[in-house]
Structure 1
Amino acid sequence: MNASALLVETFDRLPELVHAAVDGLSPEQLRWSPASGTNPIGWLVWHLTRVQDDHLAEVIGEPQVWVGDGWARRFGLTADPADTGYGHSAGQVAAVAPENAAALVDYYTAVADRTRRFLVGLTDADLDRIVDERWDPPVTLGARLVSVANDDLQHVGQAGWLRGLLSATG
């Protein structure tokens, strides 16, 4: 298996996990959290999608999916490309209000489709390309993609765990 196929395999596992975390939940359930100051399911899935959208758009050299097609409106937000959820206060977390589970799934699907199209065309040599010189050492495309996959997998796991907790609390 080459690196492109490995990355496709990794990212292709996420859509099913996103669906499992949010399908059938009401807007209120998507905004539920077990305690004050904790991130709800809807925010976690929105955030993991925003990070993937932001980071992939940068390395692909295209605008973020978020800024087009009215995505922000479906979450009660503005189409600010810098807003990925990093450093959100409790108030900012609460402001992320997906209109329904379909908004999360649809946005994730649009981002995942673009990600997959990009990954399929990668060569192993592409992964050594420097994509961010603000770090020491500079970040390669391979490291950036692993970072995005890691972040996404952690957050979708958290969302799945919260889904189970929500079900258990009735």
Structure 2
Amino acid sequence: MKATEVLADAYERIAEVVHDAVEGLSAEELNARIDPKANSITWLVWHLTRVQDDHVAEASGLERVWTAQDWFTRFALPLPAAATGYGHTPRQVGTVLVESGELLLGYFDAVHEQSTGFIRGLTATDLERVVDAGWDPPVTLGVRLVSVLADDLQHAGQAAFVRGALQRR
């Protein structure tokens, strides 16, 4: 199995966890926080999707789905278009709300499609390309894709945990 096939498979696993965490929940459940300082399922999935969208678009030279496909307007969040959730305060987390899981999954699926399409078109040599020379050692495309993968799986797992906690209430 090629490295790019392994990455594509791993990104498919993110999609499975995200869909399992979101599907069948009401807007109230998606937006609920188990503690005032905790993240909601909505925020976790929005954030992991924004990070994937931002980082993969930058590394690939593609447009960010958030703005290119007008998801920014559809979500109508009181945040700048460039916001990804990184460093959000609990108050900012509370502003990321959806009226349905369909909106959340629609954006996730659009980003997932762009990311996996890009990944499937890569070669092993492409993964060695430096995408951020500001680090020591410089960050390659392969390392960036694994970094996004790790972050997304953590947040998807957190969303699944929140779902379980809410259902036990």
The normalised TM-score by structure 2 is 0.95
- 2:61 paired residue number: 61
Distance, in Å, in 2 between the alignment partners of 1:68 and 1:89 is 27
* 1:24 partner amino acid: G
- 2:120 paired residue number: 120
Correspondences of 1:1-150 after superposition (within 5 Å): 1-77=1-77, 80-150=80-150
* 1:53 partner amino acid: D
Distance, in Å, in 2 between the alignment partners of 1:56 and 1:81 is 17
Identity of aligned residues (%): 50
Point out the more displaced range, 10-19 or 41-50.
Answer: 10-19
Instruction: Provide closer, same or farther for how the CA distance between residues 134 and 82 of structure 1 changes in structure 2, counting only shifts above 3 A.
Output: farther
Unmatched segments (≥5 aa) in structure 1: none
- Runs of 4+ in structure 1 deviating by more than 4 angstroms, as ranges, are none
Unmatched segments (≥5 aa) in structure 2: none
* 2:60 partner amino acid: I
- Provide the secondary structure at the position in 2 that maps to 1:131: strand
* 1:46 partner amino acid: W
CA contact (8 A) 1:64 1:81 kept: no
Q: Deviations over 1:128-148 (max 9, x none)?
A: 100011212110001000000
CA contact (8 A) 2:27 2:100 kept: yes
Q: Deviations over 1:81-108 (max 9, x none)?
A: 4210000011111111122101111101
* 1:133 partner amino acid: A
C-alpha deviation, 1:79, in angstroms: 7.5
Q: Deviations over 1:37-72 (max 9, x none)?
A: 110111000000000000010011122000133312
CA contact (8 A) 1:15 1:112 kept: yes
- 2:163 paired residue number: 163
* Count of residues in Structure 1 that have an aligned counterpart in Structure 2: 169
Root mean square deviation of aligned Cα: 1.3
CA contact (8 A) 1:18 1:156 kept: yes
- Provide the secondary structure at the position in 2 that maps to 1:44: helix
* 1:59 partner amino acid: A
CA contact (8 A) 1:66 1:79 kept: no
CA contact (8 A) 2:32 2:40 kept: yes
C-alpha deviation, 1:78, in angstroms: 5.8
